[in-house]
Homo-oligomer: A and B are copies of this chain.
Amino acid sequence: LPTKMKNTLKSVAIQLLILQLALVGNIFCGNVLIWPEDASHWLNIKVIIQELLHRGHNVSILAPSASILIEPSEDISAAKFEVFPVPYGKDEAQSFFEEFVTLLLDHKPTALTFYRFYQEMRKMMRKVHEFHKFKCENVLADQELMARLKKSNYDVLLADPATPCGDLIAVKMDIPFVYTLQFTPGLTVERHCGKIPAPPSYAPAVLSGLTDKMSFGERVKNIISYLVQDHVFQTWYGDWDSYYSQVLGRPTTQCEVMGKAEIWLIRTYWDLEFPRPLLPNFEFVGGLQCQPAKPLPEEMEEFVQSSGEHGIVVFSLGSLVANLTDEKSNIVASALSQLPQKVLWRHKGKIPETLGANTRIYDWIPQNDLLGHPKTKAFITHGGINGIYEAIYHGVPTVGIPMFADQPDNIQHMKAKGMAVGLDIQTMEAEDLVHAVKAVILNATYKENALRLSQIHHDQLLKPLDRAVFWIEFVMRHKGAKHLRVAAHHLTWYQYHSLDAIAFLIGCMAVFTFIAVKCCLCCLLYCRKRVRIIMKTKTE
């Protein structure tokens, strides 16, 4: 071909490329597959699903045939449910969780029961693991389902890593995936698989109960916490490695596959979270579900208004804990009856005998609308991240009664930021609860700090939900976000920590020092010899 024609062809090719890239840059409607986790996680991811549907994307949800909350509902009616079978029913799932919570609530910390508690816990965890394995196998082994999914040409998979396997399904189908999570224990997955740095000197290990300002002893404890949690992760997740390798037909680890996440949407923000290093593909979108308060149901509004200048207290222990034990319920009810405020209590069990006239029990409460109500003075919560963020959003001082998972950590953060008082559900007496509620209402610093956090939360570049959806759409538009991915993923652990390079440099220095010292010694010996000879000659 003559050069001119070649150039023309090249020019046409480049123009086509520009056009193609421009088209890719303007996807308005993509196909999103969701790999959700149950309970409060589902409530959070549902908000993202709603927004994705609102923006015109097709959303499919890979849902197990039985779960506590994952099911079609009016607010996401446009989403398609791809249901896969699991060998347990909804009741079993629900009762398993209740058992779990009861175990945590009944545990009294003595040496004898601790061992039993630990044994029970292990049994529970093994069951959780089995549940997860079921789910994973039932999707990946279902040829028909997998073929249907592949045919749907998904642009991105949004996975909650609390249920493993979403990443594996994405890699198997060769589509990019985005994570949504609050944290994994010890930040192990984020650190080892996502390569985010977490210096133990000021980044407290999650579940350690530490803040970012630590004494010497606390820093030692923090390092141990990281080591222990890493070890638990290794023994816990190691089991998955062979399964992942088998499914992908090549030797791999779960961590390697998890590290392929294009974007990590973290369900906290710097209002609640202690500032720590991040990577360009980590976006902190805590509170994405928060909204301005809507009006309350008429009956509820009347009750709230009847509180007068004292206002109300909102009390909920979240979506998992419907029932407290009778003993605990009575303690709580008797405490609430001593408050001058009216109390709205989300509670499903037997009505406690000690219930006061100022307290009303509800099966369900519009928590966000109540927290945004001008009469609300305080919030009593188990410390789930969704409720915590609603409290921050509306600037409501909080009493935390954490039970498990992220809850103790969340309350610890709120305490450190000065907007909450924490209580221990196991040792709590009625008067502790009364004192705590009175403290957060009457001591103005709690309200002040709650408002400060609220201000920080509201004053962001873009709303958390918009940021979350932007990155999901970005991954769809560009088939990933490789430009945000650190090169650390290509390194072994000793290369990552520069151990080989440092060893080499120390080796070089040692050799250099050795030679230098040898040379000096030789010179010295030579000089001494010369001096002796001279002395000898002189004396002779």
Contact = CB atoms under 8 A, between A and B. Distances in A.
Interface string A289-326: 00000000000000000000100000000000000000
B486 A223 contact: no
Interface stretch (A80-88, A272-280, A344-352, A361-369): A272-280
Nearest to A196: B277
A329 to B, nearest CB: 29
Given A280-B270, A281-B275, A488 B199 contact: yes
Nearest to A340: B7
A271 to B, nearest CB: 7
A21 B452 contact: yes
A11 B309 contact: yes
B202 A488 contact: yes
A502 B309 CA distance: 55
A455 B21 contact: yes
A496 B201 contact: yes
Interface residues of A, number: 69
A77 interface: no
A498 B201 contact: yes
Interface string A479-509: 0000111111011000111101110110000
- Oligomer copy total: 2
Interface stretch (A12-20, A109-117, A156-164, A512-520): A12-20
Interface string A455-499: 110110110000100100010011000011111101100011110
A157 to B, nearest CB: 20
Given A21-B451, A486-B212, A491 B14 contact: no
B459 A474 contact: yes
B275 A278 contact: no
Contacts of A478: 455-456, 459
A201 B497 contact: yes
A448 interface: yes
Contact of A18 (B219, B275, B451): B451
A452 B501 CA distance: 34
A484 B276 contact: no
A455 to B, nearest CB: 6
B467 A461 contact: yes
Contacts of A197: 197, 199, 277
Interface string A252-284: 000000000000000000110011111111000
Contacts of A278: 277-280
Contacts of A442: 7, 10
Contact of A309 (B8, B222, B477, B486): B8
B455 A219 contact: no
A105 to B, nearest CB: 34
A18 B271 CA distance: 18
A444 interface: yes
Given A201-B491, A451-B21, A505-B220, A276 B500 contact: no
Contacts of A444: 10, 13-14, 17
A25 interface: yes
A447 interface: yes
A209 interface: no
B275 A277 contact: no
Given A199-B197, A442-B7, A459-B474, A483 B219 contact: no
Contacts of A276: 279-280, 486
Contacts of A216: 500-501, 504
Interface in A415-472: 442, 444, 447-448, 451-452, 455-456, 458-459, 461-462, 467, 470
Interface of A: 7-8, 10-11, 13-14, 17-18, 21, 25, 196-197, 199-202, 212-213, 216, 219-220, 222-224, 270-271, 274-281, 309, 442, 444, 447-448, 451-452, 455-456, 458-459, 461-462, 467, 470, 474, 477-478, 483-488, 490-491, 495-498, 500-502, 504-505
10 contacts: A10-B442, A10-B444, A21-B451, A25-B455, A199-B496, A270-B483, A275-B279, A275-B281, A459-B474, A459-B477
Q: In the A-B complex, list the 8 residue pairs whose CB atoms are closest, starting with the nearest.
A: A212-B487, A202-B487, A277-B277, A219-B501, A275-B486, A220-B501, A275-B280, A202-B488
